[in-house]
């Protein structure tokens, strides 16, 4: 089976379930938003959450995908950067417990990134994100030796603000013959740096993952037409369509799949990350595109029924027991 390595922001997820949205108003955080905060902001948020029940796990978009792949039995590794602190040590140990090979650079004098996630009663997430050491990951932290032996590299679009990192890593991956997968991350990230995203997809990317809003920001089109547009720039384009399911376009091949049914949405954190994991799990097992979409929907449906991105072991066992 092909091996996958991911690269992205190394963020410790701190998850808190809210009884109502009052705290969001108190903290001046628009519901559903993602706000980047500095060290002082991180201290203020931590003080607010210290008196509340919370869960803690290794996170970050690409790391979520890689953890899910590891739990599905795919040999997986993750490249990131953490601080020399308790959060950094927790981050590495948590990934390793999930079966991920870690390639983590450690930075002195900078704290590990933390994503404080406030979950409203309807499952909507609001993020206060302190990037910390993860924002200092650069091309020099990624070596050919790290990538050798892997067949696929999965890159989160949140790294796009560092152009030198993105072009350095993706060009190295192409030189080594890896299949390059890029998740577009967020519609506002795409819109803010569209020309650079277009160059990356044209020059380096084999498989691109996008949701409806990201695909629209990238192409100016919606749904299937957006997927077809994206597929003219890379080998395979996957567009997630929310409750309508997902579609994929690869050359003259096209497939679509409905969303998996879920009795109750508890928390949508990581839904897109798990979709990518499910798709790639089927992909490395040489499944047709339609089955890749179905597996993406299957894993996404599982994660939105729990708080955070950590599934119980029993759930992983049931998923792995399903016919692939």
| Opening angle at CA 213, ends 209 and 214, nearest 5 | 40
Over its length of 324 residues, how does the chain's per-residue pLDDT go in tens digits?
Answer: 899 999 999 999 998 989 999 989 888 888 888 788 998 888 888 888 888 998 899 999 999 999 999 999 999 999 999 999 999 999 999 999 999 999 999 999 999 999 998 988 887 888 899 999 999 999 999 999 999 999 999 999 999 999 999 999 999 999 999 999 999 988 989 999 999 999 999 999 999 999 999 999 999 999 999 999 999 999 999 999 988 999 999 999 999 999 988 888 887 778 999 999 999 999 999 999 999 999 999 999 999 998 778 899 999 999 999 988
Q: Return d(Cα 121, Cα 69) in angstroms, integer.
A: 29
Which residue's entry shows tokens 């949508």?
Answer: 268
pTM of this prediction exceeds 0.75: yes
Check: CB of residue 184 under 8 Å from CB of residue 213. Answer: no
Residues 260-306: tens digit of each pLDDT? 888 888 877 789 999 999 999 999 999 999 999 999 999 999 999 98
Q: How far apart are CA 262 and CA 260, in angstroms?
A: 6
Task: Specify burial of residue 300 (Cβ count, 10 A radius: 0-12, 13-18, 19+).
Answer: buried
Q: How many CA atoms are closer than 13 Å to the CA of 147, on its beta-carbon side?
A: 25
Contact status, residue 238 vs residue 211, Cβ threshold 8 Å: no
Residue 16 backbone class (left: φ over 0; alpha: ψ -120 to 50; beta: rest)? beta
DSSP 244-268: G-EEEEETTEEEEEPPPP-S-----
Three-state DSSP state, 103: strand
254 to each of 87, 104, 179, 181, how far by Cα in Å? 43, 38, 20, 18
Which domains occur in the chain, in start order?
4-9+63-112+140-321 (3.40.1190.20)
Q: In this structure, are residues 310 and 56 in contact, taking their beta carbons and an 8 Å threshold?
A: no
pLDDT tens digits for range 128-140: 999 999 999 999 9
> Hey, CA dihedral for 242, 244, 248, 249, is it positive or negative?
negative
CA dist list (Å): 100 to 47, 63, 73, 292:
31, 9, 10, 22
Among candidate residues 144, 182, 189, 177, the one with its CA nearest the CA of residue 7:
182
């Amino acid at each position: 089976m092909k091996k996958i390595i991911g690269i992205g922001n190394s963020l410790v997820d701190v998850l808190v379930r809210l009884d109502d949205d009052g705290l969001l108003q108190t903290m001046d955080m628009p519901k559903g938003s993602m706000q980047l905060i500095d060290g002082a902001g991180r201290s203020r948020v931590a003080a607010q959450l210290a008196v509340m029940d919370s869960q803690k796990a290794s996170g970050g978009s690409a790391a979520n995908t890689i953890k899910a792949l590891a739990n599905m039995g795919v040999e997986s590794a993750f490249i990131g950067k953490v601080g020399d602190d308790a959060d950094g040590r927790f981050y590495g140990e948590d990934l390793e417990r999930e079966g991920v090979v870690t390639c983590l650079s450690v930075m002195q004098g900078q704290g590990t990134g933390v994503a404080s996630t406030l979950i409203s009663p309807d499952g909507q997430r609001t993020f206060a994100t302190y990037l910390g050491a993860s924002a200092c990951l650069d091309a020099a932290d990624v070596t050919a030796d790290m990538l050798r032996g892997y067949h696929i590299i999965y890159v989160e679009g949140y790294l796009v603000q560092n152009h030198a990192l993105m072009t350095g890593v993706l060009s190295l991956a192409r030189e080594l013959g890896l299949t390059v997968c890029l998740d577009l991350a967020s519609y506002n990230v795409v819109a803010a740096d569209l020309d650079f995203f277009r160059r990356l997809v044209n020059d380096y990317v084999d498989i691109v993952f996008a949701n409806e809003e990201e695909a629209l920001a990238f192409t100016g089109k919606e749904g299937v037409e957006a997927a077809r547009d994206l597929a003219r720039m890379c080998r395979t384009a996957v567009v997630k369509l929310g409750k309508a399911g997902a579609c994929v376009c690869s050359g003259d091949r096209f497939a679509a799949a409905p969303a998996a049914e879920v009795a109750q949405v508890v928390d949508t954190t990581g839904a897109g990350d798990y979709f990518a994991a499910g798709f790639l799990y089927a992909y490395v097992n040489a499944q047709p595109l339609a089955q890749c979409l179905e597996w993406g929907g299957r894993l996404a449906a599982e994660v939105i029924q729990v708080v955070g991105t950590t599934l119980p072991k029993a759930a992983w066992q049931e998923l792995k027991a399903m016919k692939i």
